[in-house]
Amino acid sequence: MLSVTANILKPFSSFNPNTNTNTNTNLLLFSTSFLNPHPPPLLYPKPSSLKPISATLTPSSSSQQQQVYQPFRPPPSPVPAKFRSLDANGRLEILANRLGLWYEFAPLIPSLLQEGFTPPTIEEVTGISGVEQNRLVVAAQVRDSLVQSKTDPKILAEFDTGGSELLYEIRLLSVQQRAAAARYIIENKLDAKGTQDLARSMKDFPRRRGDKGWESFDYAHPGDCLGFIYYRQAREHKNPSEPRTAALEQALKVAGTDKAKKIILTDLEGETDEKEGREGDVIDVVRVPVVRLKFGEVAESSKVVILPVCRADEKDKEVLEAPWECSSEGEFGVVVAEKGWKRWVVLPGWEPVVGLGKGGVVVSFSDARVLPWKVNRWYKEEPILLVADRSKKEVTADDGFYLAAVEGGGLGFKVVRGSALKETGVKESLGTVVMIVRPPRDETDDQLSEEDWE
């Protein structure tokens, strides 16, 4: 005889907290449902039919105006419309035969590079060197910037033939500077070298703030920027001298404003020298230029000079034993000295330094007050470098400055005027002083002028 037992389960509902758990239910759940072919209904009846679930994206009020999907739009092709239908071989043929204006076929070069061509491959097929490829592409970009800045079409038309070499040189200028430079190039018929000098002068002009005469030149005028470079070069030459006069005449030729021309004419005609001579408390000519080195000036110089350095607290024999000659040799310009030395300095190719030849030496002073200039104005506790020419030891000029040895005081050298040495009977010095170099610094001040020497 088979006996079956069943457990009565009490339903639990989390949705009805008032359900009486002591009430017997008529619903039985069997632990083995296969024994009953007609199981009782469940507590929660199944829905009669299943309905698919659907969801829709309801954008918020802030993003209703935004598109959920934006298709990719490639940038506009830099290739002119008339060349866009050409394949790679067709574009190479255009470049090889120079079909069209230079700024029209220049964009074909980057399009070929995007397709996997290399500059050597393009050069082999078209005959355009890698350097020329770069110049064409950059010059075309410069021309596009001039077009966008609404430069006079007549000015742009002047660059249609052979203008890539000129526009390439003004690539580092701002858009406004490019427009002014382009007009100046055409109006003055500058070549590539003249354009390069113009671009460098416009880029360099703001950094020369504080140089003597800087405020007299107009930054917005390309001719003034170029004229200031020549004006500054003139101050590096002796006064009077032919190179100084030639530089001032060149500055006067290119300067564009009346204020700039006036200061150039003042130096050219010697009005400043006459005024200083009438004041009577200084000599007529100072033969030692004093220059403050600019940050990065050595790196930007196309020519530099390497000289041995002696400290001012060393004995005079150090100056005599320092190498007399230092030259470069070979294709790499390897610097070779006649013997080893502990300290060297690299200076820009200023004319007084370049013209030294054999016998140049530098003496480093820790305090600029040892030099014979007026303390009430140039009270400078800063290190300086004194460049001397040991090949010119004879004391000849009364108004010249010479390097001499001293005893005691912690210094081995001093700078003395020629007239003072002659009064003491000294006829030979350690060398003639040709230049004083002051250290670079962020703030700027005027260069030492002639009335500042004692």
Give yes or no: residues 192 and 219 share one domain: no
Name which of 292, 238, 269 is nearest 439 in CA terms.
Answer: 292
Q: What is the C-alpha separation between 339 and 319, in angstroms, rounded?
A: 14
| pLDDT reported for residue 39 | 52
Domain assignment of residue 400, yes or no: yes
Residue 452 burial (CB count, 10 A): 17
Out of 199, 227, 252, a domain closes at: 199
Query: Which tokens go with 275?
Result: 């005024």
φ/ψ of 170, rounded to 5, equals -100, 20
| Per-residue pLDDT reduced to its tens digit, 321-375 | 888 888 778 878 788 888 888 888 999 888 888 878 788 889 888 877 777 765 4
Give yes or no: residues 218 and 186 share one domain: no
CA dihedral 342, 434, 264, 260 (to 10 degrees): 20
How many structural domains comprise the chain? 3
Query: Which tokens go with 175?
Result: 């858009």
Whether the CA torsion 157, 158, 163, 168 is positive or negative: it is: negative
Give yes or no: residues 184 and 89 share one domain: yes
Give yes or no: residues 308 and 430 share one domain: yes
| pLDDT reported for residue 16 | 47
| Per-residue pLDDT reduced to its tens digit, 22-59 | 444 444 444 444 445 555 554 444 445 555 555 555 55
What lies within 8 Å, CB to CB, of 307 at 6+ separation is 326, 344, 345, 347, 353, 356, 360, 361, 362, 387
Residue 150's domain comprises 81-199
| pLDDT reported for residue 54 | 53
| pLDDT reported for residue 377 | 44
Give yes or no: residues 195 and 117 share one domain: yes
Query: Measuring CA to CA, how many Å separate 10 from each of 4, 25, 28, 274, 389?
Result: 19, 7, 9, 123, 117
Mean per-residue pLDDT over the chain, rounded:
77
| pLDDT reported for residue 173 | 93
Query: Measuring CA to CA, how many Å separate 218 from each of 225, 229, 431?
Result: 7, 13, 41
Residue 149 burial (CB count, 10 A): 13
Domain assignment of residue 319, yes or no: yes
Lowest mean pLDDT among 132-146, 149-163, 286-300: 286-300
Give yes or no: residues 232 and 327 share one domain: no
Domain assignment of residue 444, yes or no: no
Query: Measuring CA to CA, how many Å separate 442 from each of 236, 248, 348, 439?
Result: 21, 28, 19, 10
Using the predicted structure, report yes or no on whether residue 13 has a pLDDT greater than 50.
no
| pLDDT reported for residue 34 | 46
Give yes or no: residues 191 and 86 share one domain: yes
| pLDDT reported for residue 414 | 80
Give yes or no: residues 111 and 178 share one domain: yes
Give yes or no: residues 416 and 433 share one domain: yes
Q: Residue 194 CA to chain centroid, in angstroms?
A: 20
What CATH number does the domain containing 113 carry?
A: 1.10.10.2830
| pLDDT reported for residue 321 | 81
Give yes or no: residues 361 and 429 share one domain: yes
How much is the pTM? 0.48
Average pLDDT over every residue of 243-262: 90
Residue 384 burial (CB count, 10 A): 21
Q: Where are the beta strands (DSSP E) in 149-268?
A: none
Name which of 163, 120, 122 is nearest 144 in CA terms.
Answer: 163
Domain assignment of residue 341, yes or no: yes
Domain assignment of residue 40, yes or no: no
- What string of DSSP letters covers 58-88? ---GGGTTS-S-----PPPPSS-GGGTT--H
| pLDDT reported for residue 376 | 37
